[in-house]
Structure 1
């Protein structure tokens, strides 16, 4: 009950958290969040040492108790907001049964509750309130309603996709199982999201925890160290590259290329905040044993994989040369949710671009009501539309193949593409960070609206020109 103890110290004005927050230049809620994320690892150790074997019947209760403790420490009595959707989900499933109606209720209620929470709590700053874990919870419960529907389809003999078969549920969770799933301490605050099927398999001993203990302990420690490194890099990076400077008059006095590069480097280090949190939570998930992801052959040996809760692919992210690499590597579980439960379920629209646009609109709405979120996801749509079409045209030409076959030219191309991704990631992320229209519009003005000029004319100007040049070659 560490959270309750620290809350008591805070109530008695004896907590050192505020002091240390000022010392390292962060907010008290931010430091409390970090403490809670780090606590996932020792909670996993305690679980394996005292709960998993000795008190097998209380595994789920352990997750509920520790999750409640963590929620109360961070949000106090506001933690009740995270219980209400779980109760509604349980009741709607019992009353309506698994199926389309239950999915509709889940979508409307969970997204509606989250959006109302945003309206009530959201400000122009980065707020740490009950809506932060609630956005993770929203996706988990929506996915659960779809998984129950898929299970109903499967029991009727309907064909499902390979991914849907992995998460489909033929039996609804009990109320206590649902609460344990919601409050699982390693993932409650910042994710990653995971399916109830994974949680059920985990607590019912379907993962090789005893056989592979040395393997997942080592991988957990690796992720923990990586998370701490990225946390330090974030603290250093945002000190060197500051959003306050980007919003200042001095930023306008710098050269245009410098402004673009500075903004891109700021964005790259700003993303380390999320990466460090995901690495630290993944370390806890692995240490708990939740991350088991099957096995594969490696040099004629069968090795287990423990990346089932991975939310970041570090090498793909750091060496990205196109925005598809960012999508493939960053916030992987949320992207998987968007692909499986939104994009693919919109197949009936009959148009991939329309399905993608609706999916990105859903993700923007999921993040909040501020205009900056919608601008960021519009940027993603705009960039990905151009990237995919440009690549499909240019990759088929002989000159493209010869350029990449030449070592010197390939290095130069890699440098240019890396520069492109860094610069325009900065462009894309600015609205997401500052949120308010007046702020991101002013920054875009300082960058001469370069992103709009570079990407928007693709369909009616750049693409016809490129096709004309290609036909002449």
Structure 2
């Protein structure tokens, strides 16, 4: 058992005794240990290397060196892939013209990531659920491609050609090599992200404050100058408590409802369909806390370093959700497929929207889902999930446009609609992501056959029966509200939609 654990880990074996005591793979122990150390380091980084005390050069340098150290501890020599991928794409940015370098960087970064994923899956360890070096590369790929498009927008396109979001995020000068490596490989996000815009990261490193005054509860400025940012202590403690609860739930109930039981022949034969539906929901529900733990801890690390401040809410309390990756309650109580996507892996949804959905002239929904499948990896289950997601998304959009208006006449009808759509959304999500967990084609198709492909068939019928206007016609329709901060546009990459209301701080930044 110990030999297998060591062989599956390419990083340091220093924590091998702890791995054996708690019976967890060594690479997972290394990952959690590095993230906890990064949390402590983040507090030190904010207090002792604050922008008011230290130069951006030193902050970039320290953040980058710490990031490489963590990567080497977790992945050993495989961490060199982070340098190679970043080095090749930076060379392309410098040597290629700004007119086309975004395309070259996109192809090279995604191609290099895909090559590493394919070799890892089909040569080394098919089906391994432990942490692996391609996980950080996925986030680095997002950052590389996002920055390439932002540089292209800022240096090769005119302002009138850009959307408000693209204009806000546009980068007007080529970053230095240190800035580029710091953005890609800083210790706060090297292991688990989340991704962020280059402009937000540079603002954090340089310490420029986007909002000069503290708003009162009524949204008006109280006229008092505030510090460059409030203390993140409360937000970090809250997120660490969320991590603890998520980890406890995952460790206690994960093995009670294994996803593989959904395709067990005896279970299928002995369980009525409503029982299979309930078990499917419970089995997928218990897989989510591990993502809640990893993403919330990563968010807390960035906040502890002072990164992630997003202005003030209406009551004057500071918001630390600039780069948050999820909203747990909105996920668990989502009443539409769109609402679920809006609140799950938020920063990846931003990336998909900015580099694909907004820029793809034909079939943007399908193109976005296919890009998401390629980015996730080489397992066939990923492609089955995202291909199913295309059909479910189109069906959900058709229902929302054609059915929802009939339930808005009264509060009782709206409540009934919300209950029905919550149940439908949860079933559709669980049905869609089963291949994402099972990974292989045969078990995934076995599950879908046990359900007679009913969700696929139902969604196709809805898409054919309920008309939805094309995107370019919907875009011409007046909307009730516009995003107040172009950098925080709607989260779903696959549907048109509304943007969450942003803080007064960000409204002022846009105005300037």
Residues 194 and 347, structure 2, Cα contact 8 Å, conserved in 1? yes
Aligned 1:55-204 pairs, distance under 5 A: 55-56=54-55, 57-99=57-99, 101-122=100-121, 123-153=126-156, 156-204=158-206
For structure 2, list consecutive stretches of 5 or more residues without a partner in the other structure. 1-8, 212-225, 468-512
Aligned 1:393-404 pairs, distance under 5 A: 393-397=402-406, 400-402=407-409, 404=410
* Higher helix fraction (1 or 2): 1
Name the residue aligned to 2:366. Answer: 357
Name the residue aligned to 1:386. Answer: 395
Distance 1:71 1:378, change over 3 A: same
Instruction: Describe the superposition over 1:365-390 as per-residue Cα deviations: whole angstroms up to 9, x where unpaired.
Output: 11122221111112221111111112
For structure 1, list consecutive stretches of 5 or more residues without a partner in the other structure. 1-6, 465-473
CA distance in 1, matches of 2:434, 2:400: 26
Distance 1:185 1:159, change over 3 A: same
Match 1:419 to one of 418, 423, 427: 423
More deviation, 27-36/322-331: 27-36
More deviation, 134-143/232-241: 232-241
Residues 21 and 31, structure 1, Cα contact 8 Å, conserved in 2? no
Match 2:435 to one of 431, 438, 442: 431
Match 1:235 to one of 242, 246, 251: 251
CA distance in 1, matches of 2:348, 2:21: 32
**RMSD after superposition:** 2.4
Shift of residue 395, structure 1, vs aligned partner: 2.6
Name the residue aligned to 1:279. Answer: 296
Aligned 1:32-51 pairs, distance under 5 A: 32-51=30-49
Aligned 1:430-449 pairs, distance under 5 A: 430-449=434-453
CA distance in 1, matches of 2:417, 2:147: 44
Residues 261 and 422, structure 1, Cα contact 8 Å, conserved in 2? no
CA distance in 2, matches of 1:224, 1:40: 13
CA distance in 1, matches of 2:19, 2:434: 29
Instruction: Describe the superposition over 1:82-125 as per-residue Cα deviations: whole angstroms up to 9, x where unpaired.
Output: 111211122111111433x2111101111111111111101123
Name the residue aligned to 1:17. Answer: 18
Match 1:374 to one of 365, 383, 401: 383
CA distance in 1, matches of 2:168, 2:244: 33
Describe the SS at the equivalent of 2:296.
helix
Residues 380 and 440, structure 2, Cα contact 8 Å, conserved in 1? yes
More deviation, 182-191/424-433: 182-191
Instruction: Describe the superposition over 1:201-252 as per-residue Cα deviations: whole angstroms up to 9, x where unpaired.
Output: 1111113898266542211221121122122222223122112322433321
CA distance in 2, matches of 1:372, 1:8: 26
Instruction: Describe the superposition over 1:259-303 as per-residue Cα deviations: whole angstroms up to 9, x where unpaired.
Output: 12211221122122212211111111111111122445x25x5x5
The number of aligned residues is: 438
Match 1:309 to one of 323, 338, 352: 323
More deviation, 435-444/419-428: 419-428
Describe the SS at the equivalent of 2:69.
helix
Residues 136 and 190, structure 1, Cα contact 8 Å, conserved in 2? yes
CA distance in 1, matches of 2:82, 2:345: 22
CA distance in 1, matches of 2:43, 2:244: 19
CA distance in 1, matches of 2:230, 2:423: 41
